[in-house]
Structure 1
Amino acid sequence: MKKILTMLMAAFLVFTMAACTANNDAGKETDGKDSGDKGEEKVLYLNNGQEPTSFDPPIGFDSASWNSLNNLMEGLTRLGKDHQPEAATAEKWDVSEDGKTYTFHIRKDAKWSNGDDVTANDFVFAWKRLLDPATGSAAAFLGYFIEGGEEFNSEKGSAEDVKVKAVDDKTFEVTLTSPQAYFLSVIANPAFFPINEKVAKENPKWFAEADSFVGNGPFNLASWEHDTKFVMKKNDQYWDAKNVKLDRIEWAIVDDTNTEYQMYQAGDLDVSDVPAELSEKLFKEGKVQVEDQAGDYFYRFNVTKEPFQNVNIRKAFALAVDQQKIVDFVTKNKEKAAYGFVSPGFKDPSGKDFREVNGDFNKTNVEEAKALLEKGMKEEGYTELPEVTLTYSTSDVHKKIAEALQQMFKENLGVEVKLANMEWNVFAEEQKALKHQLSRSSFLADYADPINFLENFQTGHSMNRTGWGNPKYDDLIQKAKNESDETKRFELMYEAEKILFEEAPFFTVHFYNQVYLQNEAVTDVVRHPVGYLELKWADKK
C-alpha cells in the first residue's frame, strides 16, 4: 500500500491531510435532526481532509478516498473488529489442498444499492479491470499473486490468462501463483471491491457523481458537493443492514487542522485531529485517543534528477535529518522517530519484532552527513550543489515538517533548500511522473506483512516513484514472495531493507500512529492498524 497520501479525518494522522478548501459551511447541516436523540436520525460528522480522488475502486487507492470508499463498498472479506478478515460479500470459501485455489460463495442476499444481485461476474470484471494496464491503477501490484495477473498488467499476457472465473452466478474462483498467508486480508482492500458490470458498461463514469454511484457496502453515496462535502446514507439493500446503526454520515472537506479542531469544538464534527500547538495541553487533559497504525511518513529522492543521482549526496541529506526533533517539537503527537522503513509490530518466526532485529539505519549523524556531501560533490565534480527544491502537498502539518527540514539542511549541511507546495491531486500526478526533485510521501500498510512495505521499491513499481532500481533488491523481493519457509522469508526481507538504506532512494521521518479526539457519544468506530476505517458498526448515542 502503499500509499502517498494524505490521511483523512480522525483515523488519519495529522500529517497526511492535504488540499486547501477550508469551507465554513462544510460541517453540520442546520436543517437536519440532531443525531443522538432517541427516535431521531443518527448522523456522524467527519472530515475527509480533501476532495476524494475517485470512488472508482482501483483508482481511489489513496488516503483521500479509501476510508470513505471502504464504507460505500465491500469485498469478499472485510476486516472485523479484531482486525482479522471475516466473511463479507462472500459468506464462506473453500481452499484447495495446495493452498492456491480459493472458491468463494457469494451471499444470495448480496445486492447492489440499485437492487441488482452482486454476482461472481462482477468480481471477475472488477479484478481484471484492476490488473488491466489500460486502467492505470496504482494498486494493480496487489493482484500480482493471482496467476496471470502480473503478466496481464505488464502487457506480457492477456486478460484471458488471469485465473479468476465465475463458476456460476454466486461462485467465484481465483488461483494464486503460490500460497499466500495474507490473501484474505489483502482482498479486503478497496482495490478488490466488485464493480457492477452492467452499470459500468452503460456509464463508464458511474463513480463520479452521487446520482450515478452504485455500491454494495453498508452506506450509499447520497450527495457530493465537490470540494465542499459529501454525504453517505445507510444502504437498505446491504445484506447486513440490520447491524448498521447510523442513518447518515456527513463528510466535510477541510484541509486545515486548526479549522477542523474549531469545528469539533463547536459540535460541527464528531472527530478531530490534534493541532500540534494544543497537543501537550490536550494530552495532559486526557482527551486524546491514540491507536496503532502501520506506516511511515517519509521523503522520496528523485534519483533521475541532480544532485540526487549520487548516493552519497542522498545519504548526506538523510543523515542531516533529526527525526526525534521533528516528532518532539513539530508534530507533537507521540509518534516514533523512524530509522527504518518497515514499522514496528511485525514478528518474525522467532517472535522478535522485524524493526528490532534489523535495527536503525538513517539515524541522525551530522558529521558523517557533511563528509558524505563533500564526497558526493567531488564525485560529481560540483563546486556548488545544484539548486534543491523540496515539494509537499498542501497541508498545515506538511508545511511545518518541510520548514523544519529546510532549517536542518541549512544548519547541518549548509545547503539552502527551496520549498514548494501544490494541491494533492496535482502533487500526486507529478510525483508519479518523476517531476519532483525531493518530495514528501506517506505509506500505510495494505496488509499485515513486512513484504507490503518492501515491495514498493521494486524497479518500475507503481509505488516506487523515485526512479531507483536494483536487480539484487528485485530478486530478494521476488524470492520472499514465493518462499514458504518463514525463517528464510524473513531473512530475505531483512537483507532487502538493508539494501534500501545502503542506496537511500528516500529517508524516513516517523512511524504513524492514530491520534484523535472523538465525541463521547460516538462508539464502535473501528480503526485498523493495517487497513481502513470501519463505520459499519459505528453508533451515536
Structure 2
Amino acid sequence: MKKFLLILLAIFTVGLLAACTTGEDAGEEEPAEETDQKDDTTEEEANEEAVTEGEKVLLLNNGIEPTSFDPSIGFDQVSWDPLNNLMEGLTRLDQDSKAGPGVAESWDISDDGLTYTFHLREDANWSNGDPVVAEDFVFAWKHMLNPETASPAAFLAYFIEGAESYNNEEGSSDDVAVTAVDEKTLEVVLTAPTGFFLDVLTNPAFFPVNHQVAQDNSEWHAEADSFVANGPFLLESWDHNVELVIAKNPEYWDAAAVKLDKVHFAMVNDTNTQYQMFESGELDTATIPPEMSDQLIDGENVFIGPYGGLEFYRFNLTEEPFQNKKIRQAFAYATNRDEIAQYVVKNGVEPAYGFISPGFTTPSGEDFRDVNGDLVPYDPELAKQLLAEGMEEEGYDELPEITLTYSTSDSNKAVAEAMQDMFIQNLDVEVTLENQEWGVFAEAQQNLELQFSRSSFINDYNDPVNFLESFITDSYMNRTGFSSAAYDELIANGRAETDPEARYNYLFEAEKLLAEEMIAMPIRYYNTVVLEAEGVSGILRHPVGYFDLKYADKQ
C-alpha cells in the first residue's frame, strides 16, 4: 500500500496499508504536527542547508517515518518507497513495469517449472564495497521466514519449498529450498509451478541483506551510518520522524543510469501542508487536496495513472453484530461508493464494486474486473431488507452499538464521515466514529480488537491472487476472523494451477465467494495523481509495484 508515491497517500491514501500488503498502504499514518507559526528562515536558506550547489536534488514527501528498513519488517508503502531505491532484488520492475533483471543478470527455469537458478552480476556490490553474493539472499529470506522475526511478509515466500513449515515452526531453516550454489549462483525450488514467481521477487521483502554486516550488527538497518545498500542510492542521513536523504550509490552496478545526486524525503502527513510546500518550491511533487481537485486535476503538471490497490473496510466476524452475513451485506449495500469517489476522495478515483482492481489481464486478453463484473452493488432497499432479516436471525430488537474505526488522516476521516451519514440515511443506524494513531490502530486490527475498521491494500506483485490470498485461514493479512475451507482450496488452486484459464476461473470464484460472505466491503480503487514541478522527469510509478527513482531527473 502500495506511491512522490506517498504523495499518493491522500489519494490512494497510501498505505498504507499493508501490503501489502499489501500489505497495508501508507494512507494510515501519523499526522504531522502543525503550527500556526512559521519560522523566519527563508526558502533559499532552507534549501542551502539541504542542497549542495550544482547537485541534482529531488525534494519528495514520505508522509511519515518508515516502519523499518529491515526488508522483512518494513512491509508497507512508507517503507517500500525509500527501500526500493536503496535496495535491489534478483528481479526489478523495468520501465515497462515488467519483472526484469536486477541483481540477477539471468536465470534458468527447469522443465517442470519448480527449480529456478539465478546468476548474479559479477559487478553487483554493496555500498560498503562488499560483493552481493548468493548467501546474502539465503540469509535474508531465512531471516524473513524465521518465526522469531515475525515478518508480516513471510507468507509471500510460501511458494518456496519448506518455507511455510519453517515459518509455522513445523520445520527448520535447513528445509527451506534456497541454496547458494556458489558466490554468484542461487538455486530456489518451489512447491508448485508458479508462473508469476519472478514478479513476486520484485517485492522489497525479497531484497538481500549483507549477511556479514547483519551478523555483526542486527540493527544495521536502523541508522544511516550502519545501513548498507545495494540499489541505485545509499542512505546518507536519517533524522527520524523528520527527514531522510538518499544519495547516488557509486557501487551500484548500473550507477551510470542514475541521474540524481540526492533525494530528500520530508515527512509531512497533511494534504494541504504538503501542497503548500509544493507551491513554495519545498517539494517537487505533491498530491492534490480533494477540495482543490476540480481546479487542478486537468493541469499540465499533473501525472495521472493506474495503481493496483483498494480501499476497503473489514468486518470483525468475532464481534456482534457482524457474525451475521446478512447484516454485513446490509452495511455494504448501503454504501454509495460512487458518491464517495466523486465527491469525497475525488481526483479521478473509481468506485469499487469488486475487490480486484482494474489492470489485471486474463488469459483471454480481457480485464479481470470486466470479466467478473460488479459484485458489491449499491442497493439501499436490499440493504434494509437484509438488515431486518439478519436482526431477526440473531433475535435483535435493536443492533448492538457499532464503532467504525479508522487511522488518523484527513482523507480517512472524510470517507468515514460520509459512510456514517449513509448508514443513518439508508439503514437508520447510528455508527460511532473513532480514529486511532497508525501504530495503535494497526496492532488493534491485527489482534481483532476493532469491530468495523478501515483498510487499504497495495498489490505486492502483479497477479490478482495477491489480494485474494490475504483472506485464507490464519493469514497475517486476514484480520477478520473469517475461515473457509472452500475459500482456502480455491486460493490453493489459484496459486498452483498451471493451465492459465483454469487458474483464473479459480480466482473468479474466490472473489465471488469473498463478496458473498462479505467479510470486507470495497470502497474505491486507487490511482496515481501527482503534481510534478517543472523539470522533473523519469519517475517510474508502476501500476502494480513500487516507486522507482533510478531513471529520475531534475533540470
Q: For residues 356 and 161 of structure 1, do their structure 2 counterparts lie closer, same or farther at Cα, with a shift above 3 Å needed?
A: same
Q: What is the identity, as a one-letter code, of the residue corresponding to 2:135?
A: N
Q: For residues 325 and 125 of structure 1, do their structure 2 counterparts lie closer, same or farther at Cα, with a shift above 3 Å needed?
A: same
| 1:207-258 Cα distance to aligned partner (Å, 9 max, x none) | 1111211111111111111111111111122111121111111111111111
Is 2:118 the partner of 1:101? Answer: no
Residue 284 of structure 2, aligned match among 270, 280, 292: 270
Q: What is the identity, as a one-letter code, of the residue corresponding to 1:62?
A: D
TM-score, structure 1 as length reference: 0.96
- The residue correspondences of 1:502-513 to structure 2 (distance < 5 A) are 502-513=516-527
Q: What is the identity, as a one-letter code, of the residue corresponding to 1:20?
A: P
SS, match of residue 268 in structure 1: coil
Deviates more, 1:5-14 or 1:195-204: 5-14
- The residue correspondences of 1:83-98 to structure 2 (distance < 5 A) are 83-98=97-112
**Structure 2 contact 4–286 (Cα < 8 Å) conserved:** no
TM-fit CA distance, 1:10:
4.3
| 1:173-207 Cα distance to aligned partner (Å, 9 max, x none) | 11111222211111011000001111112111111
Q: For residues 432 and 475 of structure 1, do their structure 2 counterparts lie closer, same or farther at Cα, with a shift above 3 Å needed?
A: same
**Structure 2 contact 5–541 (Cα < 8 Å) conserved:** no
TM-fit CA distance, 1:75:
0.4
Q: 1:82 and 1:5 mapped to 2: Cα distance? A: 17
Residue 254 of structure 1, aligned match among 268, 293, 314: 268
Is 2:13 the partner of 1:15? Answer: yes
Match of 1:152?
A: 166
Q: 2:75 and 2:299 mapped to 1: Cα distance? A: 36
SS, match of residue 513 in structure 1: strand
The ranges of structure 1 where at least 4 consecutive aligned residues each deviate by more than 4 angstroms after the TM superposition are: 3-7, 22-29, 31-37
Number of residues of Structure 1 aligned to a counterpart in Structure 2: 538
**Structure 1 contact 27–268 (Cα < 8 Å) conserved:** no
**Structure 1 contact 22–253 (Cα < 8 Å) conserved:** no
Residue 382 of structure 1, aligned match among 396, 399, 403: 396
Match of 2:489?
A: 475
Residue 30 of structure 1, aligned match among 45, 52, 62: 45
TM-score, structure 2 as length reference: 0.93
Is 2:507 the partner of 1:493? Answer: yes
Q: What is the identity, as a one-letter code, of the residue corresponding to 2:381?
A: E
Match of 1:406?
A: 420
TM-fit CA distance, 1:126:
0.5
SS, match of residue 103 in structure 1: strand
Q: 2:121 and 2:220 mapped to 1: Cα distance? A: 24
Q: For residues 475 and 63 of structure 1, do their structure 2 counterparts lie closer, same or farther at Cα, with a shift above 3 Å needed?
A: same
- The residue correspondences of 1:307-326 to structure 2 (distance < 5 A) are 307-326=321-340
Q: 2:9 and 2:254 mapped to 1: Cα distance? A: 24
- The residue correspondences of 1:269-348 to structure 2 (distance < 5 A) are 269-348=283-362
| 1:380-430 Cα distance to aligned partner (Å, 9 max, x none) | 121221111111111111110011111111111111111111222221122
Q: 2:126 and 2:42 mapped to 1: Cα distance? A: 29
Q: 2:173 and 2:44 mapped to 1: Cα distance? A: 46
Q: 1:391 and 1:6 mapped to 2: Cα distance? A: 27
TM-fit CA distance, 1:6:
13
Match of 2:56?
A: 42
- The residue correspondences of 1:65-464 to structure 2 (distance < 5 A) are 65-464=79-478
**Structure 1 contact 35–41 (Cα < 8 Å) conserved:** no
Deviates more, 1:418-427 or 1:494-503: 418-427
**Structure 1 contact 320–365 (Cα < 8 Å) conserved:** yes
TM-fit CA distance, 1:273:
0.4
| 1:16-73 Cα distance to aligned partner (Å, 9 max, x none) | 3321114678997835559999x81000000011111111101111112101110111
Q: For residues 90 and 28 of structure 1, do their structure 2 counterparts lie closer, same or farther at Cα, with a shift above 3 Å needed?
A: farther
TM-fit CA distance, 1:113:
1.3
Q: For residues 536 and 34 of structure 1, do their structure 2 counterparts lie closer, same or farther at Cα, with a shift above 3 Å needed?
A: farther
**Structure 1 contact 11–533 (Cα < 8 Å) conserved:** no
**Structure 1 contact 318–362 (Cα < 8 Å) conserved:** yes
Q: Which runs of 5+ in 1 are unaligned?
A: none
**Structure 2 contact 161–191 (Cα < 8 Å) conserved:** yes
**Structure 1 contact 34–41 (Cα < 8 Å) conserved:** no
Q: Which runs of 5+ in 2 are unaligned?
A: 15-26
SS, match of residue 318 in structure 2: coil
**Structure 1 contact 6–442 (Cα < 8 Å) conserved:** no
**Structure 1 contact 100–175 (Cα < 8 Å) conserved:** yes
Q: What is the identity, as a one-letter code, of the residue corresponding to 2:451?
A: Q
Is 2:67 the partner of 1:53? Answer: yes
Aligned-residue Cα RMSD (Å) equals 2.1
Q: For residues 270 and 11 of structure 1, do their structure 2 counterparts lie closer, same or farther at Cα, with a shift above 3 Å needed?
A: farther
TM-fit CA distance, 1:141:
1.1
Q: 1:139 and 1:4 mapped to 2: Cα distance? A: 14
TM-fit CA distance, 1:286:
4.2
Q: What is the identity, as a one-letter code, of the residue corresponding to 1:65?
A: S
**Structure 1 contact 233–249 (Cα < 8 Å) conserved:** yes
Q: What is the identity, as a one-letter code, of the residue corresponding to 1:329?
A: Y
Q: 2:10 and 2:194 mapped to 1: Cα distance? A: 28
- Percent identity (aligned): 54
Q: 1:35 and 1:80 mapped to 2: Cα distance? A: 30
Q: For residues 531 and 11 of structure 1, do their structure 2 counterparts lie closer, same or farther at Cα, with a shift above 3 Å needed?
A: farther
Q: 1:122 and 1:329 mapped to 2: Cα distance? A: 49
Q: For residues 31 and 296 of structure 1, do their structure 2 counterparts lie closer, same or farther at Cα, with a shift above 3 Å needed?
A: closer
Q: 1:469 and 1:256 mapped to 2: Cα distance? A: 37
Q: For residues 112 and 87 of structure 1, do their structure 2 counterparts lie closer, same or farther at Cα, with a shift above 3 Å needed?
A: same
Q: What is the identity, as a one-letter code, of the residue corresponding to 2:13?
A: F
